Amino acid sequence: MQNKKKVLPEIYNFLRPKQTKNLARFGTNKDGGYIIDSIAINKIDHFVSFGMADEFSFEIDFLKDKKINTLQIYDYSVNHKNYLSNIFKILRRTITFRANPKHLSSVILKYLSFLKFIYNKRVSFYPLKITKNIQNKSEIDLDGVFDKINQSINDIGVKIDIEGDEYNILNEVIKYSKKINILIIEFHNIEKNNKIFLNFMHKLIEIFDVIHIHGNNHDFIRSDGFPNVIEITLVNKKNNLSYVDFPRSFPIEGLDFPNNPLCADIEINFS
């Protein structure tokens, strides 16, 4: 059952977004799209994405925004082997009449889209896992990530959607916060990590302003009315953005869309 007009406890009031008149959506109108501020993102030429899977419409929109924009993407779960394994699996099922040929065409096209994207000269794709303490060659920490970025770049965007591993790198995010102009984080399993989440967000709002919040309806709503998975967009205070409103209720019509289009979106109501 979806949250209907249930007001959040006051403990969450500090997360109430400051809204600009320049909000825009980058990415698809479902899971994978996020809200940004067009003025703040216009100051950014480089974006780092942690977690992509097979949905990279946000990153494509960022590349389209300016011809000089560049991307770094880190996702150890995405590789050629996984794509090809799925293609051959569907091929076998198609040959034995257990799968629709359209399904085979779909997975092949998805792989071709992936290839076209990662081999774009403005995209650097690393099949590495983001971690705090490196254990093997398939992992990298934030120090390693920022070492790969041209040191003359002082305004970058960061998107973090790494299925719960975000809690392992929160302190490192603070460490590099002066270079981060826009920060988008999807927090998972807040039911288990509520105290960590709230403590981290209190630290973040000393440096950033929350400009948008959206519940992911692929997961449940906690008993206090807060989503178990939440997408938050923050902008560094150094942007000195002009705020025109402080809305109490979300989602915003025309900007927000359900992550799962088959279910109603999650309502968030601040007191």
The single-letter DSSP state of residue 218 is T
The confidence score (pLDDT) of residue 5 equals: 78
Q: For 197-229, how does the pLDDT look when each residue is reduced to its tens digit (9 = 90+)?
A: 999 999 999 999 999 999 999 999 999 999 999
Mean pLDDT of 222-245: 96
The confidence score (pLDDT) of residue 4 equals: 55
Q: What are phi and psi of 7, to 5 degrees?
A: -85, 135
pLDDT at 43 over 60: yes
In this structure, are residues 170 and 202 in contact, taking their beta carbons and an 8 Å threshold?
Answer: no
Helix (H) or strand (E) holding 142: helix 142-147
**For residues 173 and 204, what is the distance between their CA atoms, to the nearest angstrom?**
9
Mean pLDDT of 126-134: 94
Which distant-in-sequence residues (6+ apart) come within 8 Å of 96 by Cβ? Answer: none
Task: Work out the mean pLDDT of the chain and round it to a whole number.
Answer: 95
pTM above 0.85, yes or no: yes
**For residues 130 and 121, what is the distance between their CA atoms, to the nearest angstrom?**
23
User: Higher pLDDT residue, 1 or 8?
Assistant: 8
Chain centroid to CA 149: 20
Q: Give the pair of three-digit tokens for residue 210.
A: 């929350």
Q: Tell me the three state secondary structure of residue 271.
A: coil
Mean pLDDT of 225-241: 96
The single-letter DSSP state of residue 225 is S
**For residues 77 and 129, what is the distance between their CA atoms, to the nearest angstrom?**
8
CA geometry: angle at 185 spanning 86 and 77, to 5°? 20
Q: Sorting pLDDT into bands at 50, 70 and 90, what band is 1?
A: very low
Q: Give the pair of three-digit tokens for residue 178.
A: 């002066």
DSSP H stretches of helix in 1-140: 38-42, 57-65, 80-95, 101-118
Closest residue by Cα to residue 180 from 190, 170, 167: 170
Total count of residues recorded for the chain: 271
Lowest mean pLDDT among 1-15, 16-30, 96-110, 156-170: 1-15
The confidence score (pLDDT) of residue 3 equals: 44
Which distant-in-sequence residues (6+ apart) come within 8 Å of 51 by Cβ? Answer: 74, 75, 159, 160, 161, 162, 163
Percentage of the chain exceeding pLDDT 70: 99
Q: For 52-78, how does the pLDDT look when each residue is reduced to its tens digit (9 = 90+)?
A: 988 999 999 999 999 999 999 999 999
